[in-house]
Amino acid sequence: MTKKTAEDFAKQQKEISISEFFEKNKHLLGFDNPTKALLMAVKEAVDNSLDACEEAEILPDITVKIKNLKEDVYKVSIQDNGPGIVKEQVPRIFGKLLYGSKFHRLRQSRGQQGIGISAVLLYSQLTTGNPTRVLSRTDEKKKSQMFELLIDTKKNEPQIVKQEETDDGIPGTGIRVEMDILGRYRKSQGVDDYLKQTSISNPFAKIIYHAPDGEKMTFPRSVNELPVPPKEIKIHPYGVEFGILQRFLTETSSRTLQSFLVNEFSSIGQQTAKEICSMAKLEPNMKPPELERGGIEKLLGAMQKAKVQRPPLDCLSPIGEKELERSLKKEYPEAEFITTLTRSPEVYRGNPFQIEVGIIYGGNMKTDEPIEIIRLANRVPLLYQAGACATTEAAKDTDWKRYGLQQSGSNLPSGPMILVIHMCSAWVPFISESKEAIAPYPDIVKEMKLAMQDAGRNLSRYLSGKRRAGEAKRRIQIFERYSGEVASSIALLTKKPEKEIEKKLKSMISQRTHIKDDEEDKTE
Amino acid sequence: MTKKTAEDFAKQQKEISISEFFEKNKHLLGFDNPTKALLMAVKEAVDNSLDACEEAEILPDITVKIKNLKEDVYKVSIQDNGPGIVKEQVPRIFGKLLYGSKFHRLRQSRGQQGIGISAVLLYSQLTTGNPTRVLSRTDEKKKSQMFELLIDTKKNEPQIVKQEETDDGIPGTGIRVEMDILGRYRKSQGVDDYLKQTSISNPFAKIIYHAPDGEKMTFPRSVNELPVPPKEIKIHPYGVEFGILQRFLTETSSRTLQSFLVNEFSSIGQQTAKEICSMAKLEPNMKPPELERGGIEKLLGAMQKAKVQRPPLDCLSPIGEKELERSLKKEYPEAEFITTLTRSPEVYRGNPFQIEVGIIYGGNMKTDEPIEIIRLANRVPLLYQAGACATTEAAKDTDWKRYGLQQSGSNLPSGPMILVIHMCSAWVPFISESKEAIAPYPDIVKEMKLAMQDAGRNLSRYLSGKRRAGEAKRRIQIFERYSGEVASSIALLTKKPEKEIEKKLKSMISQRTHIKDDEEDKTE
């Protein structure tokens, strides 16, 4: 055998399509095992449906059906009442990875990558070989368009197996996706949890779910209005990197550096633009593409040092305190105490974001186990990789003993409680393409902790009220145990009716114990 | 504002290039922060150099230089003595993501995705805007080819800024990469650790390192021979999925189903192929592309149920017990005890893999802290995401108290010990593109635990020997304390010389205490 040379190696070099890449690395997209795969299929389709309905300003009606075909093979069908997708776009949206409308703009949405639903198709064809059936109806007056799709993994292009107009089944407008996948169904940490939590974070959505075990669940709307649609924003100067700025400068249609700054970035007005130019010692009237390396460096430095207002916050669409509370009351009617709060928006690396927290306490939860955490990002429930998530880090880092829970070391606290945490942002930094956990950036963890502390104080107030009420009750019980005897003795002495004396005694006891409570409050 | 329709949405749909995707999601590739970015730049280049040298059967000589240019900007330069890369391939190998020689074959190598080095270029241009300089020399008699490269992120194609022949600096053949990146240098969990551990797992490589703080380190070879090169293998029938089988059937050049099975998969001979056909009730002579859905399902079922030999194991290239021991002795000369072992190969999902473990004990390590773990995959050190790694799970799951270490609950044990774990495989399942942790698949964790138990028993033998030696020593000391007095009394009584008596006494004591030790051994 002769040694290999550079020429030998050259023959092996080859392009890898993104479909091939993710087919081999499907675990990166969340398709690690059949249980998770079943969840991913439902999740990607439902997230898309909710995004489409919200953007088209339609109150979502979504139906999810899962049927066990044989052994580990399931048929999954998801139907919505959204605007539908025009015929020409259906194949690429479903049959091409890295294709979509959400990547190239900065706007809060559930999807952000252009990978999700096509990855499910990829997994479906890999495990069952069957094409995915997509029905789209964009106009009530017209028929639905039906496609049977596969993905040509070598080219990362859709392959249309069949295409026809059909009368089949979509009332009004909307999409229906039907696919066969290798999966496994279980009740917890799967589709059921995902849909329940989706209903909590999207109180305006109605979801009907036919589980594979025959159970039919309905998650009704708890509010009848769509949230205010989040606005698209431009990148904030504090979040810009050299390469991005360089590219923007050559691609802009702005004629001067000053107008470039105003037009291409958020929060820069004419005055700030002038200041930035002067800090960078650059002429505000110069043409943007004429900036050279050194100039770009100075401009970047000035953009990051200048006092720039924080980005506009109407790009955020939180669930809302009242809406979240209503959702939680609907899903946890047996809870003893519920509190919700929405913090003011904050900014990490130039990206606005907002944290909401809810606490559900008591009811029939176990008291000696770690609390449960419901993690949400842009209204999407996150069910895996909790250990790597900013939410978990924040929860562990919060001192829950101050708020009346048990907690040892830096573990999660124990108690009969569910903690809900929601982060919304035009760009949520997920730790993987499967979007299962939020990267624990310090700015994000800090804000989550502050939100938990706020909610913790509400819980603490409730719990100390409950404790005091309990103490008062015990005192009353002690007094009451003797009030009968005392009353009859007094009755003997005073010749007054025993019943009346006892009644007065009891009212006095009750008053006194309340007064003592108030005094305790003051000295606490 | 009118409501958006499907037609409005259609206009926003767009293709996303893989470069754009990873520019925005650079944290997925390990570029989360400047410290890690500096490490990634060195790691990707060095891993490629080692792969190239090994495949071309050249003993690697690698020089890494890092220089702090200003503030957070570093110049990183990596030079090897590998075969070089032919001129035509240089731009795409360095300037295009998802391009390479290692993805489309099943063979143990450090790189496996075709993303690494081009991702570093992407990060370099994003953070500094500077092109990367690549020098390649494939023939000592010819000059080097120099390229200055950027990546056109919209197209995911290399952009050649400059190209020329040059006399500059590569002696013999090889590659030199020079790039400027935004980084941060720190001594631990960065480039220094990576290079030290790389030297441990590649004892045949010589690495010279000029650190940014001016320190120059040399990691010499501890063996002078390259490992036996791992063989490329075919996919094993137990690891095949429906979609892959379907594709293979249409693409094969084999004329019959029987020869298709023999030619396209590992471990299937003519006899096994016949058996599979008969189990699937398919004609061995039928043409592979003529199989339909039902037939493919039956074939797949038979392939996975049939008794097939395990895959050939010459596709694996472990470090080796002796080689690893020599490496560890070189890097930890102060250690008290070192043990290494290489387990027999095992198989997960049809992929052969092999686990090696080393234990370094004692010396000047702290005794009351959790043990350190050196994690290696295909000879590449893994420095981040330890918590999510199969190695950590296996180490926590092992009962180290049995082997003489402190351990509470399911935490890592404490003690003056470094645990080295190496997994090699033609396909290591990493949890992310940044390849920082091995997915904790049960088969892999189980095998790692068995390897740790084996090594743990070696440690335990050493520690109990040490404990017994200590006990014996204490006993001797007690006897010795009195031997002088006893000797002088006996000397008085017997009129024999005191010195001689004392000498005999001591020899008796030493003999007796050793005999006692052996007896203890038997009753243990």
Percent of chain A with pLDDT over 70: 97
Q: In sequence order, what are the beta bridge partners of A517?
A: none
Domains of chain A by start residue, with CATH: 18-219 (3.30.565.10), 237-305 (1.10.8.50), 321-459 (3.30.230.10), 463-523 (no CATH)
Phi and psi, residue A69, nearest 5°: -80, -50
B518 against A375, higher pLDDT: A375
Interface of B with A in 365-424 (CB under 8 A): 385, 387-388
pLDDT at position A101 over 90: no
Interface of A with B in 23-52 (CB under 8 A): 23-25, 27-28, 32, 52
Beta-carbon count within 10 A of B107 CB: 17
Token pair recorded at residue B517: 């030790």
Complex ipTM: 0.85
- pLDDT digits over B335-366, tens only? 999 999 999 999 898 889 999 999 999 998 98
- Interchain proximity A293–B84, CB inside 8 Å: no
- pLDDT digits over A62-99, tens only? 999 999 999 899 999 999 999 999 999 999 999 999 99
What pLDDT is recorded for position A510? 67
What pLDDT is recorded for position A253? 94
**Element at A340 (helix H, strand E):** strand A337-342
- Interchain proximity A4–B293, CB inside 8 Å: no
Residues of B with CB below 8 A from A247's CB? 153
Would you call B15 an interface residue with chain A, using a CB distance cutoff of 8 Å? yes
Identify the sign of the CA torsion A423, A427, A431, A435: positive
Q: How many CA atoms lie within 13 A of A358 on its CB side?
A: 30
- CB-based burial of residue A272 (10 Å sphere; 0-12 exposed, 13-18 middle, 19+ buried)? buried
- pLDDT digits over B192-207, tens only? 999 999 999 999 999 9
Tokens 């489309």: give the residue.
B104
Diameter of chain A measured on Cα atoms = 122
- Interchain proximity A13–B388, CB inside 8 Å: no
Contact B151, B19 (CB under 8 A): yes
* DSSP code per residue over A455-484: HHHHHHHHHHHHHHHHHHHHHHHHHHHHHH
How many residue pairs from chains A and B have C-beta atoms closer than 8 A?
186
Q: Mind telling me how many Å the CA of B13 is from chain A's nearest CA?
A: 4
Would you call A251 an interface residue with chain B, using a CB distance cutoff of 8 Å? no
Report the amino acid identity of residue A505. Answer: L
Residues of B with CB below 8 A from A439's CB? 27, 32
Beta-carbon count within 10 A of A303 CB: 22
Would you call B17 an interface residue with chain A, using a CB distance cutoff of 8 Å? yes
A499 against B434, higher pLDDT: B434
Find the closest chain A residue to B114 by CA distance.
A16
Q: Mind telling me how many Å the CA of B55 is from chain A's nearest CA?
A: 7
Residues of A with CB below 8 A from B2's CB? none
Determine the distance from the C-alpha atom of residue A240 to the mean position of all C-alpha atoms in its chain, rounded to a whole number: 25
Beta-carbon count within 10 A of B347 CB: 17
What pLDDT is recorded for position A504? 79
Tokens 């109605």: give the residue.
A206
* A86, A175, A297, A298: best to mutate for the B interface, most B CBs within 10 A: A86
- Interchain proximity A21–B246, CB inside 8 Å: no
pLDDT at position A523 over 60: no
Would you call B113 an interface residue with chain A, using a CB distance cutoff of 8 Å? yes
Residues of B with CB below 8 A from A24's CB? 103
> Average pLDDT of A252-276?
95
Interface of B with A in 53-112 (CB under 8 A): 55-58, 83-86, 88-89, 92-93, 96, 98-101, 103-105
- Please tell me the distance from the alpha carbon of residue B389 to that of residue B377, in angstroms, as a whole number: 11
What pLDDT is recorded for position A519? 41
pLDDT at position B371 over 90: yes
- pLDDT digits over A3-50, tens only? 788 888 888 888 899 999 999 889 889 898 899 999 999 999 999 999
pLDDT at position B524 over 50: no
What pLDDT is recorded for position B512? 62
Contact A46, A78 (CB under 8 A): yes
Interface of B with A in 195-234 (CB under 8 A): none
What pLDDT is recorded for position A512? 63
A137 three-state secondary structure: strand
pLDDT band per the 50, 70, 90 thresholds, residue A471: confident
pLDDT band per the 50, 70, 90 thresholds, residue A223: very high
What pLDDT is recorded for position B514? 56
Whole-number average pLDDT of chain A: 91
What pLDDT is recorded for position B73? 95
pLDDT at position B1 over 60: no
- pLDDT digits over A501-512, tens only? 878 777 776 666
> Average pLDDT of B284-308?
94
Interface of A with B in 136-195 (CB under 8 A): 136, 138, 153, 173
Residues of B with CB below 8 A from A105's CB? 12
Would you call A293 an interface residue with chain B, using a CB distance cutoff of 8 Å? yes
What pLDDT is recorded for position B197? 97
Q: Mind telling me how many Å the CA of A383 is from chain B's nearest CA?
A: 16
What pLDDT is recorded for position B312? 86
Whole-number average pLDDT of chain B: 91
- Interchain proximity A14–B99, CB inside 8 Å: yes
Closest CA to A170 of A146, A200, A204, A202: A146
Q: Mind telling me how many Å the CA of A515 is from chain B's nearest CA?
A: 49
What pLDDT is recorded for position A163? 97
A59 against A7, higher pLDDT: A59
Token pair recorded at residue A441: 């950036």
> Average pLDDT of B104-112?
88
Query: Cα-atom radius of gyration of chain A, to the nearest Å?
Result: 30
What pLDDT is recorded for position B521? 41
Straight-line distance from the first to the last Cα atom of chain B, in angstroms, rounded to the nearest whole number: 86
pLDDT band per the 50, 70, 90 thresholds, residue A518: very low
- Please tell me the distance from the alpha carbon of residue B34 to that of residue A60, in angstroms, as a whole number: 43
pLDDT at position A279 over 80: yes
Contact A371, A413 (CB under 8 A): yes
Residue of B84, B293, B388 lying closest to A388 (CB–CB): B388
B166 three-state secondary structure: strand
Q: In sequence order, what are the beta bridge partners of B149?
A: B132, B160
- pLDDT digits over A329-373, tens only? 999 999 999 999 999 999 898 889 999 999 999 998 988 899 999
pLDDT at position A177 over 80: yes
Percent of chain B with pLDDT over 90: 72
Contact B504, B479 (CB under 8 A): no
pTM of the model: 0.86
- pLDDT digits over B444-478, tens only? 999 999 999 999 999 999 999 988 888 878 877 77
- pLDDT digits over B493-522, tens only? 788 888 888 787 777 766 665 544 444 444
Token pair recorded at residue B65: 């230089």
Contact B368, B407 (CB under 8 A): no
- pLDDT digits over A127-169, tens only? 999 999 999 999 999 999 999 999 999 999 999 999 999 987 7
> Average pLDDT of A191-200?
96
Say which DSSP state B258 is in: H
